[in-house]
């Protein structure tokens, strides 16, 4: 059975498009179980602009069956399919009467209180533990040691495998090449990626790093993390089992949907 439910948020939530307010709400609720991440829904009175009901269309959704979408007119701006209404959705016990969602990417900026947030709403049940460690971490690619340190940073994130971030001065950067792959995380920031070139062979998206990590992930600045799904990671002399995530079968540049980790 789907665990679709609502929880009230204590946060003051706003969204803007080209400087114009689209959402202004102190009555936001988080909808859980309908998407990969919790999603904000709002009383319709907290939506600024005119919802164009005559532009409804049903959109299939893997989690709730279908969502009715409408355009939103804010001043002279028309935001097509910006509004989601759940009157045809399979929403379990969640009572969404009178509530609507605004597509995250339809706006330019979102705020929780006075802080800008990115990618999706912050989940109060999701957390990061970022710990400096003295464990010996070694990473091999193609049987070649490409990183080795006793000064790693251990990042533990709700629902995700432990990640080991290695200082850049303990990484064979001469074997790595920056590429154009980028992913984003609501909690850590915007990641950039390296490919490796070993004996003339290019191996894409072997590792990632954050130039300017968000506040909770600050200790990983200046560090690189390798995919434990694909490469040999040794901790204190013990080879670790390969991590099992979606990244075991594809690289971020091959992904066709939002990343589960970055």
Share of the chain above pLDDT 90, in %: 69
Give 68's pLDDT tier (boundaries 50, 70, 90): confident
> Quick one: pLDDT at residue 59?
60
Q: CB neighbours of 227 closer than 8 A, spacing ≥ 6?
A: 205, 206, 207, 243, 247
Domain 128-254 has CATH 3.20.20.140: no
Strands annotated E in 18-159: 20-25, 29-32, 39-43, 50-61, 65-74, 77-85, 99-102, 109-112, 115-117, 128-132, 137-141, 144-149, 153-157
Q: In whole angstroms, how large is the CA radius of gyration of the chain?
A: 21
> Quick one: pLDDT at residue 46?
96
- Bridging pattern class, strands 153-157 and 144-149: unpaired
The tokens describing 29, both together, are 């609720």
Exposure string of 137-173, with b = 16+ CB inside 10 Å and e = fewer, is bbbbbeeeebbbbeebbbbebeebeebbbbeeebbee
Q: Quote the CA–CA distance of 93 and 193 in Å, as a whole number.
A: 42
> Quick one: pLDDT at residue 84?
84
Determine the average pLDDT of the residues in 127-138. 98
Within this chain, domains 5-117 and 128-254 share the same CATH topology: yes
Q: Where are the domains of the chain?
A: 5-117, 128-254
pLDDT digits (tens, 9 = 90+) for 19-63: 999 999 999 999 998 778 899 999 999 999 988 866 565 665 555
Give 97's pLDDT tier (boundaries 50, 70, 90): confident
> Quick one: pLDDT at residue 257?
42
Cβ atoms within 10 A of the Cβ of 99, count? Answer: 21
Confidence (pTM):
0.87
Determine the average pLDDT of the residues in 107-135. 97
Question: Is residue 65 scored above 60 in pLDDT?
Answer: no
Question: Is residue 110 scored above 50 in pLDDT?
Answer: yes
Q: Quote the CA–CA distance of 51 and 82 in Å, as a whole number.
A: 9
Q: Quote the CA–CA distance of 108 and 16 in Å, as a whole number.
A: 6
pLDDT digits (tens, 9 = 90+) for 181-228: 999 999 999 999 999 999 999 999 999 999 999 999 999 999 999 999
pLDDT digits (tens, 9 = 90+) for 225-252: 999 999 999 999 999 999 998 888 888 8
Cβ 185 vs Cβ 119: under 8 Å: yes
Question: Is residue 169 scored above 90 in pLDDT?
Answer: yes
Question: Is residue 3 scored above 80 in pLDDT?
Answer: no
Q: CB neighbours of 210 closer than 8 A, spacing ≥ 6?
A: 188, 189, 190, 191, 192, 217, 220, 221
Domain 5-117 has CATH 2.90.10.10: no
| Summary mean pLDDT of the chain | 89
């Amino acid at each position: 059975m789907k665990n679709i439910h609502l929880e009230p948020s204590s946060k003051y939530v706003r969204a803007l498009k080209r400087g114009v307010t689209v959402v202004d709400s102190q009555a936001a609720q988080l909808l859980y179980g309908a998407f990969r991440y919790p999603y904000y829904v709002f009383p319709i009175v907290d939506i600024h602009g005119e919802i164009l009901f005559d532009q409804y269309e049903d959109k299939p959704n893997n989690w709730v069956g279908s969502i009715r979408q409408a355009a939103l007119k804010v001043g002279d701006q028309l935001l097509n399919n910006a509004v989601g209404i759940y009157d045809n959705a399979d929403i379990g016990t969640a009572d969404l009467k009178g509530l609507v969602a605004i597509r995250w990417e339809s706006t330019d900026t979102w705020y929780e209180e006075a802080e800008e947030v990115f990618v999706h709403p912050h989940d109060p049940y999701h957390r990061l533990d970022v710990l400096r460690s003295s464990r010996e971490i070694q990473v091999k690619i193609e049987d070649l040691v490409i990183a080795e340190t006793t000064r790693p940073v251990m990042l533990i994130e709700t629902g995700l495998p432990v990640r080991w971030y290695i200082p850049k001065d303990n990484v064979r950067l001469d074997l790595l090449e920056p590429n154009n792959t980028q992913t984003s995380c609501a909690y850590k920031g915007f990641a950039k990626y390296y490919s490796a070139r070993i004996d003339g062979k290019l191996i894409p998206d072997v590792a990632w790093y954050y130039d300017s990590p968000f506040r909770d992930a600050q200790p990983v600045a200046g560090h690189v993390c390798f995919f434990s799904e694909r490469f040999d990671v040794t901790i204190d002399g013990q080879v670790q089992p390969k991590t099992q995530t979606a990244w075991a079968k594809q690289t971020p540049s091959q992904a066709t949907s939002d990343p589960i980790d970055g």
